[in-house]
Chains A and B, each alone.
Chain A
């Protein structure tokens, strides 16, 4: 919920309405519908995970079924094969660099946009807002050539820096209102106590914006972790590939080894799912923040 990332000075919201959902009679139809929805949503993922425990022979005989016997070999092969860990490590490094760059630069840029008055402030903000309309897809060809000319092909930075750049607009757009909402008394108190504005930024603003930074950080991390197009163009060295590239490669290279592909894909899902389950509130609040401002 937005409340998680809500800045302290927000006006009270109709809390009662949020906590109390529609409490009137819930008929059996609701449960039936809920089960149908849950099955439709989860079936593909559950199918992939369970079928990873079957052999190709079992899959050929009957594409849908429980493993009998359970075969661990597919998962063991993936986990001991080395490539999976290499891809996962590459994905992690790129996602961490992207997140760090975007959070640090994002909050620095959002600070003057939120709390200084100067000519051209709105114009500067508009630059970032317009950036929202330029997803990397649109500029991917010149971006690829630019990265090539900078000598960053097949490097982590060659993926992380452009990703951070394209994530900046949404970061600034989420963080600015967050910083604006911090009470100005804090600033007055800091000024009376002799802090400079830069001191105020590091000692008071940054610690207080923790929730906002986590939200934009999680969004940047997930975006980078799932990215496909940019890494596809920038990383051709097999040693540098990320998990999405690895999954796509594996599924075409070993197309006949269906069980192996399912095991590989299932294992690639796990980090994203674990991360999502732990960060679920942040991701949702970030998306809502991105929508509601």
Chain B
């Protein structure tokens, strides 16, 4: 996404800003003339270049080492482990090629996990976007208590997923608090065995995820709304447009880039979903709520099939990566005029 490369361009055309950044960089390069270098301009240039390389290395190396040791190496290793049948201990000598991948793709539980993840991706967007948009439009109007509301809607997002999960697990117990509230208000007939019914547990998880994550959508959409000039709204209402017409024809279309970015974040988060499911159901009952991440932890650390779990991890990454690239190529490409750069952040959206 170009906003990475040419950010903070509100108010200027993106192209102009990019050009500005380029000339800026050129200006910086000349800010440090080699004051007391050798007379020969070539040698002066070379020594300056060496100095600069050392400086760059000094600044970048620590981060790169940390990144290599804990991010790059494990990811490469995942690819290697995935070719072996290996329990994590002892020599890794049972090379089985792509057999782990074939096994995973043929496993009905893994297929279930992929289906569940995709369902969560689609439903999270389909449920949270309308709710988030409605609440954001509501909070964008001026009324006493608006600031407090903005803080309140964001509270669930800040709670640890584990903490939220433990609270919800208690609320959703059979004959627990939620059921008794439903009884009290005469809605007893909607009661379910929320987390224990294989046919319903996934819906419950999606409901809890909505509670936890709709705040992120609201906060991002509110930020997007503040970029919509008030003059547009005023002009439209002078022309006789109703509040709803203004929102539908002007505000929401202008929110397009924000919405598309949020969808991307939500999608990556849904694909990596682990904590909440692990706390609420451990992927059960009867694998009804299994996700790719709970499946891989189950196979890896719980059953010590590290080779197989690594193959699942590679598949999880491949699916996330392909969806991210497709999304960037076909949906977000219009939001930027620069080379598209894939981005997203699990912790932001999970």
Contacts and interface: CB of A to CB of B under 8 A. Distances in A.
Nearest to B25: A117
A138 B313 contact: yes
What's the interface size class on A, roughly?
Answer: 35 or more
A228 B4 contact: no
Nearest to B131: A37
A96 interface: no
Interface stretch (A66-74, A75-83, A275-283): A275-283
Given A105-B66, A127-B67, A138-B78, A198 B156 contact: no
Nearest to B173: A63
Contacts of A184: 24, 27-28, 31
B73 interface: yes
Contact of B301 (A64, A135, A144): A144
B189 interface: no
A124 to B, nearest CB: 7
Nearest to B149: A34
B229 interface: yes
A185 to B, nearest CB: 9
Given A287-B219, A292-B223, A142 B81 contact: yes
Contact of A265 (B153, B167, B233): B167
A245 B176 CA distance: 24
Interface residues of B, number: 126
Interface string A22-60: 111010001101100110111011011001000000000
A219 to B, nearest CB: 8
Interface of chain B, main secondary structure: helix
Nearest to B71: A165
A284 B324 CA distance: 24
A111 B324 CA distance: 28
Interface of A: 1-2, 6-7, 10-14, 16-18, 20-24, 26, 30-31, 33-34, 37-38, 40-42, 44-45, 47-48, 51, 62-64, 101, 104-106, 108-109, 111-113, 115-118, 124, 126-146, 161-162, 164-170, 172-173, 177, 180-181, 184, 187-188, 191, 196-198, 201, 219, 222-223, 225-226, 228-229, 233, 243-245, 247-248, 251, 258, 261-262, 265, 268-269, 272-273, 276-277, 280, 283-284, 287-288, 290-293
Given A37-B152, A273-B159, 6 more contacts: A7-B8, A17-B231, A105-B62, A228-B278, A265-B163, A284-B219
Q: Give the 5 A-B residue pairs with the shortest CB-CB distance, closest first.
A: A293-B3, A135-B346, A293-B7, A165-B70, A109-B63
28 contacts: A24-B243, A26-B141, A33-B138, A34-B145, A41-B153, A48-B170, A108-B60, A115-B25, A117-B28, A131-B67, A133-B344, A138-B317, A165-B71, A177-B8, A184-B24, A187-B28, A191-B32, A226-B159, A226-B161, A228-B278, A229-B293, A243-B160, A244-B162, A245-B162, A251-B166, A268-B160, A272-B158, A280-B154
Interface of B: 1, 3-12, 21, 24-29, 31-33, 52-53, 55-56, 58-60, 62-64, 66-67, 69-71, 73-75, 77-78, 81, 88, 135, 138-143, 145-146, 149, 151-156, 158-164, 166-171, 175-177, 179-181, 184, 211, 215-216, 219-220, 223, 226-231, 233, 237, 243, 258, 261-262, 265, 268, 272, 274-275, 278-279, 293, 296-297, 300-301, 306, 309-310, 313, 316-317, 320-321, 324, 341-348
